[in-house]
Amino acid sequence: MLNDKFNREHKHISLAHGSGGKLMHNLIKNLFLPSFGNPLLSKLDDAAVFEVGGKKLAFSTDTYVVNPLFFPGGNIGKLAVCGTVNDLAVMGAKPLWLSCGMVIEEGFDYDILSKIITSMKKTALQAGVEIVTGDTKVVEKGKCDGVFINTSGVGIISGDPLDIENIQEGDAVIVNGSLGEHGIAVLSCRTGLGFTTRIESDCAPLNDFIDEILSNSDGVRFMRDPTRGGLATTLNEIVEARDYGILLNEKDIPVSDGVKGACELLGFDPLYIANEGKVVVVVEKEKANNVLEVMHKHKLGINSAVIGYISVKCKRKVCMKTVSGGTRIIDMLVGEQLPRIC
């Protein structure tokens, strides 16, 4: 059942298997899908969609292992609520109910745990979701790293669910602001790396923003949040095995000077850095300006921009017209750029 070649090449799990990039996709395709395989899982969407009593529900899960636990603009608690809320929201769902499963390391400071919980509470209130069920495990000192938090979530989809199958040639690809801030913010506070610029994580619940977009405009085909593996990985997921690709314009991709500087310093590419408050919106070409207008009105969308188009000229690939006039292929993340970013 398992892919033997993959198996032989990867006798042990590496950090890159959790990166969101190519190795993780291979792990999912070679191990998880053949085992669990069912139509819902096989879509590999940010959430599974099923029907109950005539209503469409979205169901999503994520475990957060970010290191360090606190970073400029957030902490693991805020992240754990935002991440799952956003995974539901990009499916077009209204997130409603969250679970919280904690693994805590023996000896963990009670006050820090309390700060994390308070942050989860605040973010849940902000996002309009309730944490309705939970579980707490404690493992011996040295058997986890402070605290890991799983949140799973259930939301209701009122309209038609957004579906990757809706995407068509010529559709505009929009992003709601500058890229890479979450990844660089987390990295900036790891031991030994000191930046002069303070870069804050963009970590935020996107559900209100997405609700504004969907309620006040039409033409939205598909959404996804570019978290682990960054924009490049998310766009590659969109075009994988499709008859179309994406053609980006480098000059239109918003990246802040702080992130640019940090990336130059460290040899990173902002397109591969994780975001936690960004959404990629694929929109019918003629409706793109309307959608942009709606996005610009919301505080999370002030810097929204069309960054490229769906094009049959680069099937299965993400290509980018560079500022210098060339065109380069933007591959999925290979290996591990920033472990434990979320």
Site for a second copy, residues 72 to 101, rule: CB under 8 A? 96-97, 99-101
**Contacting residue, 22, 69, 75, 148, with a second copy by CB under 8 A:** 148
Nearer to a second copy, 70 or 287 (CB): 70
**Contacting residue, 4, 109, 160, 243, with a second copy by CB under 8 A:** 109
Q: Does 31 bind a second copy (CB under 8 A)?
A: yes
Whether the Cβ atoms of residue 78 and residue 119 lie closer than 8 Å to each other: yes
Residues 243-302 that bind a second copy (CB under 8 A): none
Strand partners, 63: 150
Q: Does 130 bind a second copy (CB under 8 A)?
A: yes
What is the closest distance, in whole angstroms, from the C-beta atom of residue 111 to a second copy in the complex? 8
Whether the Cβ atoms of residue 100 and residue 120 lie closer than 8 Å to each other: yes
**Contacting residue, 123, 150, 176, 188, with a second copy by CB under 8 A:** 150
Distance CA 178, CA 259 (A): 9
Q: Which residues contact 36 (CB under 8 A, 6 or more apart)?
A: none
Whether the Cβ atoms of residue 302 and residue 296 lie closer than 8 Å to each other: yes
Q: Which residues contact 59 (CB under 8 A, 6 or more apart)?
A: 47, 48, 49, 50, 152, 153, 154
Chain-centre distance for alpha carbon 116: 21
Q: Which part of the chain contacts a second copy (CB under 8 A), choosing from 58-66, 184-192, 258-266, 308-316? A: 58-66
Q: Which part of the chain contacts a second copy (CB under 8 A), choosing from 143-151, 166-174, 234-242, 283-291? A: 143-151
What is the closest distance, in whole angstroms, from the C-beta atom of residue 218 to a second copy in the complex? 25
Place of tokens 């918003």: 254
Q: Is it true that the peptide bond before 205 is cis, omega within 30 degrees of 0?
A: no
Cα R_g (the chain), whole angstroms: 19
Residues 204-233 that bind a second copy (CB under 8 A): none
Q: CA dihedral defined by 211, 119, 63, 142, rounded to 10 degrees?
A: 170
What is the closest distance, in whole angstroms, from the C-beta atom of residue 105 to a second copy in the complex? 8
Q: Does 335 bind a second copy (CB under 8 A)?
A: no
What is the closest distance, in whole angstroms, from the C-beta atom of residue 133 to a second copy in the complex? 4
What is the closest distance, in whole angstroms, from the C-beta atom of residue 145 to a second copy in the complex? 4
Q: Is it true that the peptide bond before 161 is cis, omega within 30 degrees of 0?
A: no
Helix (H) or strand (E) holding 27: helix 22-27
Number of residues that bind a second copy (CB under 8 A): 83
Whether the Cβ atoms of residue 316 and residue 239 lie closer than 8 Å to each other: yes
Q: Does 53 bind a second copy (CB under 8 A)?
A: yes
Nearer to a second copy, 114 or 303 (CB): 114
Q: Which part of the chain contacts a second copy (CB under 8 A), choosing from 151-159, 208-216, 260-268, 316-324? A: 151-159
Give the count of alpha carbons within 13 A of 169, CB side only.
7
**Contacting residue, 14, 168, 197, 322, with a second copy by CB under 8 A:** 14
Q: Does 339 bind a second copy (CB under 8 A)?
A: yes
Nearer to a second copy, 271 or 342 (CB): 342
Task: Draw the binding track, 175-204, toward a second copy (x: CB under 8 A; -: no contact).
Answer: ------------------------------
What is the closest distance, in whole angstroms, from the C-beta atom of residue 186 to a second copy in the complex? 14
What is the closest distance, in whole angstroms, from the C-beta atom of residue 194 to a second copy in the complex? 22
Chain-centre distance for alpha carbon 125: 21
Place of tokens 């890479």: 180
Q: Does 334 bind a second copy (CB under 8 A)?
A: no
What is the closest distance, in whole angstroms, from the C-beta atom of residue 165 to a second copy in the complex? 18
**Residue 8, number of CB atoms within 10 A of its CB:** 8
Q: Does 332 bind a second copy (CB under 8 A)?
A: no
Angle value at C-alpha 149, between 148 and 151, nearest 5 degrees: 155
